[in-house]
Amino acid sequence: MKLINILSVVIVALVLGSVTLANRSVDESLYVADLTRTIHQLENQNLARSSRVAMLGSLTQLKDKIVDAGFVDTPLIVALPTPTSVALR
């Protein structure tokens, strides 16, 4: 009879422990899912902002702003006059 009582107490303790651990794992999985969702949102925001920065800092956009600021737009390449090539020195 004592053995049956001890086994029933052990079984009840194991069931309660199993339920407790299952609840904790569900809570943690919900927390991890929320973190994953947040990470994906931040990655999307980062991608959108980096593409916006790339667009705003592109050379075609900057060229117009530089010309508007008063710098001269010259399509020619200007080289300094040197008596010999730098590669020959």
Report pLDDT for 73: 63
Report pLDDT for 37: 92
Report pLDDT for 42: 94
Per-10-residue mean pLDDT for the chain, 89 residues long?
Answer: 85 84 77 89 92 77 78 66 59
Token pair 């530089």: residue: 66
Report pLDDT for 15: 84
Token pair 């050379």: residue: 59
Q: Which amino acid is at 3?
A: L
- Between CA 80 and CA 47 the distance in angstroms is 42
Report pLDDT for 43: 93
Helices and strands, counts by H and E, the chain: 2, 0
SS3 content of the chain, % helix, strand, coil (to 5): 75, 0, 25
Report pLDDT for 87: 57
